[in-house]
Amino acid sequence: MAGHEAGEKLVANNKKAYHDYFIEEQIEAGIELFGTEVKSIRQGKCSIKESYVQIKDNEALILGMNVSPYEKGNLFNRDPLRVRRLLLHKREIRRLFQQIQTEGYTLVPLRVYLKRGLVKLEIGLAKGKKLYDKRAVIAKKDQARSAEREYKVKLR
């Protein structure tokens, strides 16, 4: 994973993305939010498990990101699953758009975090894993785990 700076507070993590995709590049983006959504995210009430990133009309959008309504927000609360705009530079959006058009890449949200008081989303430029890739990764983890176990047994 990318280096986490001091002063960053993790709000939501998408572990499944690392299981289903090879993450080639990580990009930090801001999210266009309303005040009550920011308050809700600060309380950790946010999920990106079912979400995905799409580029449409030269704008990066995140769909399916669930931000629970803020308890004290009443009439100011927005739809928890509304489409939100990602704040990226135009050239960055164009570059990402070209890559997902040609090379079979996709954009997946990796984590939501607070950085210097601002809500940030880390998106990954990802290539889908085939079933055998996933199996290979699981087998490698199992081997590492059993080697670790044997090592501990030998130490005693």
Cα angle 80-86-90, degrees, rounded to a multiple of 5: 160
Spatial distance between the Cα atoms of 60 and 94, rounded to a whole number of angstroms: 10
Q: Give pLDDT tens digits for 56-81.
A: 888 888 888 888 877 776 766 667 77
Spatial distance between the Cα atoms of 32 and 115, rounded to a whole number of angstroms: 15
Strand ranges (DSSP E) for 36-154? 46-47, 52-56, 59-63, 66-67, 84-87, 105-115, 118-128
pLDDT of residue 115: 87
Of the candidates 123, 87, 122, 94, which has an alpha carbon nearest to the alpha carbon of residue 4? 122
Query: Please, what is the end-to-end C-alpha distance for the chain in angstroms?
Result: 33
Mean pLDDT of 27-56: 84
Of the candidates 146, 109, 89, which has an alpha carbon nearest to the alpha carbon of residue 20? 109
Tokens representing residue 144 in the block:
């590492």
pLDDT of residue 78: 67
Q: Which residues contact 42 (CB under 8 A, 6 or more apart)?
A: 11, 114
pLDDT of residue 89: 92
pLDDT of residue 1: 43
Q: Which residues contact 59 (CB under 8 A, 6 or more apart)?
A: 85, 86, 93
Q: What are the chain's domains? A: 9-129 (2.40.280.10)
Out of 21-25, 79-83, 84-88, pick the least confident.
Answer: 79-83
**Amino acid, res. 61:** L
